[in-house]
Homo-oligomer: A and B are copies of this chain.
Amino acid sequence: GLMAAGSVGAYAATQNTASNQGSAEGFTADRSTALAQQIKSSKPRNVILIIGDGMDDSMITAARNYELGAGGRFAGLDSLPFTGSMTTYGLKVGTGPDYPIAYVSDSAPTASGWSTGKKTVDGRISQGPSTAADVPGEDYETVLEKFKAGGKLVGNITTSELTDATPAAAASHINARACQGPQDLAACTSARKSAGGKGSIAEQLVDNEVDVLMGGGLNRYSQATDAGPTVLDYAQREHGYRVLDDKTDLAGVTSLKKGPVLGLFAPGNMTPMYQPLVATAPPGTGGATTTCQEADRGSQPDLSTMTAKAIALLDNRKGFFLQAESAMIDKQEHGSDICGAIGDLRELDEAVQVVLAFQKKNPDTLIIVTGDHAHSTQIVGGVTDGKQVATLQTADGDPMTVAYSTSDVGSDHTGAQIRVAASGPQGANVTGVIDQTDLFRTMLGRSPSGTPGPRD
């Protein structure tokens, strides 16, 4: 990432002795004044939301243990001053208005939750619940759309396909997350443009003229629209998008004056930082000296590079909204791949470092960092403690075993509340216990509550 050169030290192991083990002699100063000075009730000018798909407390701890040692701290992710717990449940289809609760959610209703402030059903993209998966619900306006309507610039970037559920929910509305390209609309027939609908997710993202769109998913944009040309052609011709293919293209774009940008850096999902290490039945894979190996990502940019560029492009006097997703934490957890998930969580931390550096110069920026739902990864006491296990040597030099046990092969989401963290104006609204739908109002800026401290 852009910060990698400067942040190498952040990923060095901490020393572990009896006296300074972790933070045993840890922080000594009372944090009261420091926290009070961070509280600002003003409405933020810029909002940056960084999502780690599937990033729960267990996955954060596993990645920290591996990258920094148990007593280490992520320079970005672990440094945000406001922290809380966030519930992520969703609904099940029904006749309403009292829909059954889904205690474990997928990435569509969770992203729809913070994007629209309302709960919905699995697979649903910023539309309300309904009687069945293939029955569209009511479209709910998103934070991104409200920022755009307010004359601010907006960005939406990810390491998965750009049309995957999390980025989709920021700026499109459709009954099923599978309906990513114009040829993928079997479950969303009324959404077809030829049927008078808003089109697939790929089409809606560009019809919304999101100023910066970046991620994988070129294959969705290569699909033919109902009108004939590909979505890519349509985006360029109708909306003036400039298409970026690789990190060289990305480096070359320096302003939005010549039109919005559409970065499509991989046919499908982008390549994670690390090669996979897939957990297997006990005694599992890996061992006391196993470490994660960097993957060859060819000409793909990484998340922190995309994030830095997105901010550089979006930064303007009126303000901006950016959603940036480290998507492959979840995808690799689904594959019981501990190294893949760890690497993408580290990438998220690097992206957080980038946005914190921007915030230093632009203190009217609200940063929120969280996941969308809990996942399957557990840190366990031994190599027989789960259905699939893997062991790695951490930065401490010691073995850590993780388990995936929701299936015999592969793995799935779980329902625990997850960590939410924030920095900047109105960041205090993530403290305590919140629901992910509460992020909606916070990102829009609640009515300032007054003058909380001497700094305001």
Contact = CB atoms under 8 A, between A and B. Distances in A.
B412 A387 contact: no
**Oligomeric state, in copies:** 2
Contact of A31 (B19, B117, B428): B428
Contacts of A27: 429, 434, 438, 441
A18 B119 contact: yes
A327 B400 CA distance: 27
A31 B428 CA distance: 6
Contacts of A448: 30, 32
A374 to B, nearest CB: 7
Interface in A372-418: 374, 376, 378-381, 384-387, 394, 396-398, 400-401, 403, 405-407, 412-418
Contacts of A429: 27, 30-32
B386 A406 contact: yes
A452 to B, nearest CB: 3
Given A58-B374, A83-B83, A447 B119 contact: no
Contacts of A18: 91, 96-97, 99, 118-120, 128-129
A196 interface: no
Contacts of A415: 58, 61-62, 65, 378-381, 400
Contacts of A97: 17-19
Contacts of A417: 57, 60-61, 419
A85 B83 contact: yes
A425 B18 CA distance: 29
B35 A412 contact: no
A299 interface: no
A183 interface: no
A79 to B, nearest CB: 7
A97 B21 CA distance: 10
A151 interface: no
Interface string A54-83: 001110111011000111010000111111
A69 B103 contact: no
Interface in A84-133: 84-85, 87, 89, 91-92, 96-101, 103-104, 113, 117-120, 128-129
Interface residues of A, number: 113
A406 B406 contact: no
Contacts of A62: 415
A108 B101 CA distance: 38
A285 interface: no
Interface stretch (A36-44, A232-240, A355-363): A36-44
A28 B396 CA distance: 44
Contacts of A441: 26-28
A331 to B, nearest CB: 17
B453 A99 contact: no
Contact of A28 (B16, B407, B446): B446
Given A36-B36, A37-B452, A98-B16, A23 B432 contact: no
B405 A438 contact: no
Interface in A325-346: none
A99 to B, nearest CB: 6
Contacts of A92: 398
A19 B137 CA distance: 13
B31 A103 contact: no
| A-B interface, 6 closest residue pairs, ranked by CB to CB distance from nearest | A379-B415, A36-B452, A405-B405, A32-B41, A58-B416, A30-B446
Interface of A: 15-19, 21-37, 39-41, 56-58, 60-62, 64-65, 69-71, 73, 78-85, 87, 89, 91-92, 96-101, 103-104, 113, 117-120, 128-129, 374, 376, 378-381, 384-387, 394, 396-398, 400-401, 403, 405-407, 412-419, 421, 426, 428-429, 431-435, 437-438, 441, 446-454
Given A15-B98, A82-B431, A451-B454, 5 more contacts: A24-B437, A26-B435, A35-B39, A101-B396, A385-B406
7 contacts: A15-B98, A18-B97, A32-B452, A34-B449, A58-B415, A70-B87, A378-B416
